[in-house]
């Protein structure tokens, strides 16, 4: 069958395993933007100004969703503390943003790659090349999340600018039925994804400068939100001390230098002392920090961190304090 024939035979609206889908034209992320009318006739500076003006609206849209974001932060922290996982599900630009957030947790907080995961329509190969056809199937979403065997300990977060992506809706619906906590990150209200999630984070950024190009304002909003979720959860778990990334994984020269600087700043010590303490601590910044702040040896610092489930501040302040 030719592409033209396929298009001709497509219904105006269609249903999938997630239920009826809204017409794209009804979504604010798909609506034309009056601020960018005649965009193709603008100079480079005018183009940049229009995009910048529209981008200035993103933070305000995210601000309205802060209560829901905070609820998700605490839910993620509880799940991870109990040995569960955060599993993102997305497609297209939203999936790539989710994959980026998941992949940055291990180097930033020394978490296991299994702790924060992502599932993307089309699989890892879709990170570099479009596999958009896969996002039309809720069954594929259900199949892919089923392979991760979600449980009551886990939280599954669906990321979809439109809030109607069948792949994401199917996956989140499946995870919720298996007892996992679920959340939605979207840029439109009253969507199928919002309906199947326990918590809905909606950042309504409005029409895009290029109509429907949700890698722009919607993508930026989603990036901000996912940053807040994982940064907030890791902080609640105690992997941040003051505003320092003390759980940094020192795998390369840049991260080694960052670890040294973190210890120097947190303990107000010179570089030589920081380097020597890190060596004694087995290249662990949390262990080194507890050693210096609590004035204890390495075995005691390790014991305190184990008792505090890795929470650095609790390990420093009171080794007997129960979480």
- The residue ranges of every structural domain in the chain are 41-236, 253-317
132 pLDDT tier (thresholds 50, 70, 90):
low
Specify whether 71 is catalytic. Answer: no
Taking the model in full, what pTM does it have? 0.87
The C-alpha atoms of residue 244 and residue 221 are separated, in whole angstroms, by 24
Q: Is the pLDDT of residue 224 over 60?
A: yes
Q: What is the pLDDT of residues 101-119, one digit of tens each?
A: 999 999 899 999 999 999 9
The C-alpha atoms of residue 275 and residue 294 are separated, in whole angstroms, by 18
Q: Is the pLDDT of residue 255 over 90?
A: no
131 pLDDT tier (thresholds 50, 70, 90):
low
Structurally, at CATH architecture level, domain 253-317 sits in Orthogonal Bundle (1.10)
What is the separation, in whole angstroms, between the first and last Cα of the chain? 61
Q: Is the pLDDT of residue 249 over 90?
A: no
Specify whether 104 is catalytic. Answer: yes
Per the residue annotation, which of 30, 54, 68, 135 is the catalytic one?
135
- 317-323 LR contacts (CB < 8 Å, sep 24+): 323/81
What does the pLDDT read at residue 19?
Answer: 41
- The pLDDT of 259-264, averaged and rounded, is 94
CATH number of the 41-236 domain: 3.40.50.10490
């Amino acid at each position: 069958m030719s592409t033209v024939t396929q298009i001709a035979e497509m219904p105006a609206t269609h249903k999938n395993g997630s239920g009826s889908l809204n017409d794209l034209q009804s979504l604010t992320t798909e609506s034309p933007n009056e601020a960018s009318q005649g965009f193709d006739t603008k100079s480079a500076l005018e183009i940049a100004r229009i995009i910048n003006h529209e981008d200035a609206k993103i933070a305000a849209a995210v601000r309205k969703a802060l209560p829901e974001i905070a609820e998700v932060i605490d839910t993620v922290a509880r799940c991870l503390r109990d040995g569960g996982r955060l599993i993102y599900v997305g497609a297209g630009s939203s999936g790539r943003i989710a994959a980026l957030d998941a992949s940055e947790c291990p180097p930033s907080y020394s978490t296991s790659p299994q702790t924060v995961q992502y599932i993307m329509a089309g699989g890892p190969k879709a990170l570099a090349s479009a596999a958009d056809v896969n996002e039309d199937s809720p069954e594929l979403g259900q199949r892919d999340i089923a392979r991760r065997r979600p449980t009551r300990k886990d939280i599954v977060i669906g990321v979809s600018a439109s809030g109607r992506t069948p792949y994401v809706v199917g996956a989140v619906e499946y995870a919720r039925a298996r007892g996992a906590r679920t959340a939605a990150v979207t840029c439109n209200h009253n969507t199928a994804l919002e309906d199947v999630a326990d918590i809905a984070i909606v950042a309504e950024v409005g029409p895009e400068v290029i109509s429907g190009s949700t890698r722009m304002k919607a993508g930026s909003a989603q990036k901000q939100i996912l940053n807040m979720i994982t940064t907030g959860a890791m902080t609640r778990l105690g992997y941040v001390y003051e505003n320092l990334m003390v759980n940094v994984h020192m795998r390369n020269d840049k991260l080694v230098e960052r670890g040294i600087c973190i210890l120097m700043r947190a303990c107000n010590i010179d570089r030589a002392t920081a380097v020597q303490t890190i060596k004694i601590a087995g290249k662990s910044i949390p262990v080194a920090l507890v050693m210096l702040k609590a004035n204890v040896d390495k075995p005691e610092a390790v014991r305190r961190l184990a008792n505090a489930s890795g929470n650095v501040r609790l390990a420093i302040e009171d080794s007997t304090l129960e979480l």
